[in-house]
Structure 1
Amino acid sequence: MRDAFSNALVAAAKKDPKVLLLTGDHGYALFDPFRKACPDQYINCGIAEQNMVGVAAGLAKAGFKPVVYGLAAFVPIRVLEQIKIDVCYENLPVTFIGDGAGVVYAQLGTSHQSTEDIAALRGVPQISIYSPGDRFELTACAEHIVRNPGPAYMRMGKADLGDVHRGPIEGWSHGDLIPVTNTGAPYLFIGTGSGLKMAQKAADALGNADVVSAPCLKPFPAKSLRELAKGREAIVTFEEHSIYGGLGGVVAETLMGQYLGTFVRVGIQDQFSSLCGNYSFLMESHGLSSEAVERQIREALNASVQLQD
């Protein structure tokens, strides 16, 4: 997925010399192709993320289209005030990329993990929020951002989980959820980012479930969700983000008063990472291993059946 991001960025910069890449002194290997193809459009702002956002805002007001890259723990979390005041208040065409979202940087501890970035930005006016689940969704999101200038944030999680879609996504707009399967099954599993792969695995294990992707969380495709939710016995959301303020929250808000079936939020509970280890270990410690997710959903479905009886 990171390669797809690099390719999309190079293509955008070649097409438009006003596209600039700003980075906080990291991502060098990732941006080797960009620096080779567009050396004059690359700016290393150093380890000074708040200043980098101010620089991007100034460049945007001068007619440029800055792309600000950082770890999701720093962009947007460290620079939330600057995003709000310098960029969103002015409704400037600045795109923020938060790499390593979720618990990807497992060995580095909570300071380098970001499980609250969507929640932090959802309340800020003007900004769009994207969370692609594979390289094809990332390309579609990047193309959509280019076509629709304005403040935007795109989070990238674990990059090597594999594709969900079989090929490029044609004609997508942020007004749609993307069906992976849509057979009218009794359960609807909705994933965003790396949660899409979780949803797919859970559907394979449990059966009776359709899987759809939510690569855009703001503005959220409410009409598309309401149509897909009709007649479902259970809806489950999957995200590598806090269960508060992310996909689970926005789905609950959207369906409030309409949907009365079983609703399950799979994600990070209200806790920090208290342990260090590799990515798989951290996911397991947060109850997000395939086995733990399957167990959580089964328990919720069984509890619903018992209540009905």
Structure 2
Amino acid sequence: MRAAFSDTLVRLAKADPNVLLLTGDHGYALFDDFRRECPAQYINAGIAEQNMVGMAAGLARTGFRPFVYGLSAFIPVRVLEQIKLDIAHDHLPVILIGDGAGFVYSHLGTSHQSTEDMACTRAIPDLSVYSPADRFEVSACMALAYQTKVPVYLRMGKSDRGDVHTHDLSQVKAGQLLQVKAGQAGAISLIATGALVRTALDIAQASYPEASVWSAPFIKPMDSQQVITICAQSRAVMVLEEHSVLGGLGSVITEIASEFAPVRILRVGVQDRFSQHCGTYEYLLKEHGLDRPAVEQRIRDFLIAN
């Protein structure tokens, strides 16, 4: 995923000299190719994320196309006020990249674990929120963010779970849900985003062959009609995300379904608590009940009870 991000960024910058990369003293190895190919378009703003966002807003006003990179615990969480007032309020085409979303920076503790970023950003008016699951979705989201010329927060998990798609997604439209496994009408549907798309697909293939699986690379905007259709054709919907159950993808799907297509919905995500311990990425998924066995059990229990 990160290689696809870097490659797409280099391609966009070489085609458009107004594309700039601003980093908060992160991502050195990741940006080796960018610095080699486009050295004049690279700015290390240092560990001063609020200033960096303000700088990006000023550059956007003068015709540049800034990409602002940082860890998702800092971009966007540390700089929400600047994103809201400097960028979104004036509808400036700044693309904010939050790397290492969820529990990826596991050993660094709560300060570096980002499970509230989608909830924070989707509440800001005029700010789009993207959450790609694999390298194909990263490339498509990057291209769309550049083409649409609107403020965008792109959430990128550093953990690479492998591809869920097998082909280029250049024709994807913002807000679209992408089917990664076809199912039967009247069966269950799994809707996931980011790293948990792979988990949803593996569970469906192993235990629920009749289920459909959808990836949600766009948290905002969301194609409401598509969500309504999926919910109307499903006996139950399971939503999976490496994010708080408050305000993320599960909230988006539930909000739409409750008004237009009521259906039983299981929201699988991080409960309203911090991590109790530090450890590996896999350990934290298990602690929060997001490893595959725990998710499978949640789905089984939900279907039995309902």
Q: Is the 8 A contact 1:106 1:278 kept in 2?
A: yes
- Work out the CA distance in 1 between the residues paired with 2:25 and 2:144: 27
Q: State the distance in 1 between where 2:67 and 2:259 align.
A: 39
| Other-structure match for 1:184 | 184
TM-score by length of 1: 0.96
Kept after mapping to 2: 8 A contact 1:23/1:46: yes
> Within the alignment, does 1:105 sit opposite 2:105 as a pair?
yes
Q: Does residue 1:58 correspond to 2:58, yes or no? A: yes
Instruction: Give the equivalent residue in structure 2 for 1:232.
Output: 234
2:23 aligned partner: 23
Amino acid at match of 2:25: D
CA distance in 1 between partners of 2:79 and 2:264 (Å): 37
Q: Percent identity?
A: 52
Partners of 1:219 and 1:50 in 2: CA distance? 25
Letter of the structure 1 residue corresponding to residue 88 of structure 2: C
Mapped to 2, the partners of 1:289 and 1:204 lie a distance apart of 16
Aligned to 1:307: none
Match of 2:244 in 1: 242
Query: 2:74 maps to what in 1?
Result: 74
- How far has the Cα of 1:224 moved from its partner? 1.2
- The answer to whether the 8 A contact 2:97-2:154 is kept is yes
TM-superposition CA deviations, 1:163-203 (whole Å, max 9, x none): 01112114110132111122325011001111211211221
Query: How far is 1:230 from its partner?
Result: 2.0
Measure, in 2, the Cα distance between the counterparts of 1:257 and 1:68: 36
Q: Is the 8 A contact 1:92 1:151 kept in 2?
A: yes
Distance in 1, Cα, partners of 2:158 & 2:84: 27
- Of 201, 210, 213, the match for 2:212: 210
Q: Residues 257 and 90 (structure 1 numbering): CA distance in 2 closer, same or farther, change over 3 Å?
A: closer
CA deviation vs aligned residue, 1:149-174 (integer Å, no higher than 9, x gap): 01101001133211011121141101
Counterpart CA distance in 2 for 1:168 and 1:251 is 26
Structure 1 counterpart of 2:68, which letter?
Answer: V
Is the CA contact (8 Å cut-off) linking 2:175 and 2:220 kept in structure 1? no
Relative to structure 1, the CA distance from residue 233 to residue 113 in structure 2 (aligned partners, 3 Å threshold; closer, same or farther) is same
Q: Residue in 2 aligned with 1:222?
A: 224
Give, as a single letter, the amino acid of the residue that structure 2 aligns with 1:275. Answer: H
Gaps of 5+ in 1: 305-309
Matched letter for residue 297 of structure 1: I
The answer as to whether partners of 2:232 and 2:263 remain within 8 angstroms in 1 is no
Q: What is aligned with 1:291?
A: 293
- Number of the residue aligned with 1:269: 271
In structure 1, the partner of 2:128 is 128
> Given that residues 189 and 199 in structure 1 are in contact (C-alpha distance below 8 angstroms), is that contact kept between their aligned partners in structure 2?
yes
| Structure 2 residue runs without a partner (length 5+) | none
Q: For residue 193 of structure 1, what is the aligned residue in structure 2?
A: 194
Letter in 2 for 1:195: L
RMSD of aligned alpha carbons: 1.0
Task: Give the structure 1 partner of residue 144 of structure 2.
Answer: 144
How many corresponding residue pairs?
A: 304
CA displacement at 1:209 relative to structure 2: 1.1
* Pairwise CA distance, 1:144: 0.7
Partner of 1:47: 47
Q: Which SS does the other structure have where 1:257 is aligned?
A: helix
Contact 1:189–1:211 under 8 Å retained in 2: yes
Which amino acid in the other structure matches residue 224 of structure 2? A
Q: Is the 8 A contact 1:2 1:159 kept in 2?
A: no
